[in-house]
Structure 1
């Protein structure tokens, strides 16, 4: 059995679910939480455990998605979204609420185990035979029928193993972007993301790095229309 992953940050130490609850209850600021460190620590936890369970990974992805959504909104509260983007966010929020509700219900069901029995067996009674095989039914015939059923069952398919790759940390991506902007002064986000080579995780971390530099007042960004490239420039 794998150990439960616990977050260890300067402002918080404990389960990932509790971190999300504190942020949603506004008892902890999302800007005080380094999502890059949370991700790096989780990957290190997986490596230390020698693998991961599918339910545990699904839980981490859902909670991390919520934290990423909250942090993106806090960094750019006035960001205008298209109707399709708003629908995607609302769909994600519905899925996360459903996941949380199912988890709470499962915890309640689990708490019932080991308590008083809520149903009782009937008192012992005489066994009445309900089936008596005829002489035509033989051991060989039953064996043949079982083999026919087994032949119709679908064959076992091997599921390919999931390879976990280490993602560049947010701090490293911020330093990379600051270095590029110091030399170029002006650059598009597409140009900055060329080194990602189609790696979605790298692009996401790069986008968070850009938002962080906007928040710090180091760079400014401009986008003429939705879905067009974002132009970044250094503030002089």
Structure 2
């Protein structure tokens, strides 16, 4: 379905599944289920559950996939920022997060209003208005309006119409997946028995990484959390915002300095 413009916003989430009508509907439902308010904390909390729901969906058109994945990627950014407070996001990434929160708040308002309309729609009308007589439209310009003036008015209207803008083409660069990063980290720890998150991700504290580096740091961090969850590695952080030591959960061979 084509995007719909509402004020200065363009709403293009119209996929209807068995339970949800789009990514914002799914996201808002997950937040309301946890009785949370829209904000960074709530979005970080429901990120994993949102991604799990996406994986359960059956095949749907590519345009709709892009909308769901766009929201998912923004949620991953929010969760990564919550877990890595010192990770500085770029202006575009911060803007994406703010935009998602604005859209979600707007959707919450529309859904609430739609619920009121749904409740009142179809009720019995006691005093029904009588039908208005059909009036045929007639083009009847004023007497003093000349053909030249009409032509000038038409040209002014055509000139005021929005011009078609060719957007620059974007290229999508493949970023290493979480599964690939998990394999790298498991291999690294399996060979060295111990490493640190800073060494593995090449994250230098106090240095602002480039956008591509930030993405790899985020993926590395999520891969580490997943390996901890699976019991493959054990992590230790000795101080707040300090580096994280990563070591194999079970040692089968002696460790050397």
Question: TM tier, shorter chain?
Answer: 0.5 to 0.7
1:204 to 197, 214, 218: 218
Work out whether residues 5 and 16 of structure 1, in 8 Å CA contact, stay in contact via their aligned partners in 2: no
Would the alpha carbon gap of residues 206 and 122 (structure 1) be closer, same or farther in structure 2, given more than 3 Å must change?
same
- The total of aligned residue pairs comes to 202
> Equivalent residue for 1:24?
34
Would the alpha carbon gap of residues 19 and 138 (structure 1) be closer, same or farther in structure 2, given more than 3 Å must change?
closer
Work out whether residues 17 and 63 of structure 1, in 8 Å CA contact, stay in contact via their aligned partners in 2: no
Work out whether residues 219 and 233 of structure 1, in 8 Å CA contact, stay in contact via their aligned partners in 2: yes
> Equivalent residue for 2:233?
218
Would the alpha carbon gap of residues 222 and 210 (structure 1) be closer, same or farther in structure 2, given more than 3 Å must change?
same
In 2, the alpha carbon distance for the partners of 1:202 and 1:6 equals: 35
- 1:78-93, aligned counterparts within 5 Å? none
* TM-score normalised by structure 2 residue count: 0.49
- Listed as ranges, the gaps of 5+ residues in structure 2 are 2-13, 20-24, 36-44, 203-209, 252-257
Work out whether residues 36 and 171 of structure 1, in 8 Å CA contact, stay in contact via their aligned partners in 2: no
Task: Give the secondary-structure state (helix, strand or coil) at the position aligned to 1:4.
Answer: coil
In 1, the alpha carbon distance for the partners of 2:234 and 2:167 equals: 45
- 1:164-203, aligned counterparts within 5 Å? 169-193=177-201, 198=212, 200-203=214-217
> Equivalent residue for 1:138?
146
> Equivalent residue for 2:64?
52
Q: Could you say what the CA RMSD is over the residues aligned between the two structures, in angstroms?
A: 5.5
Task: Give the secondary-structure state (helix, strand or coil) at the position aligned to 2:63.
Answer: coil
Task: Give the secondary-structure state (helix, strand or coil) at the position aligned to 1:233.
Answer: strand
- Listed as ranges, the gaps of 5+ residues in structure 1 are 8-14
Q: Is 1:102 the equivalent of 2:109? A: yes
Task: Give the secondary-structure state (helix, strand or coil) at the position aligned to 2:142.
Answer: coil
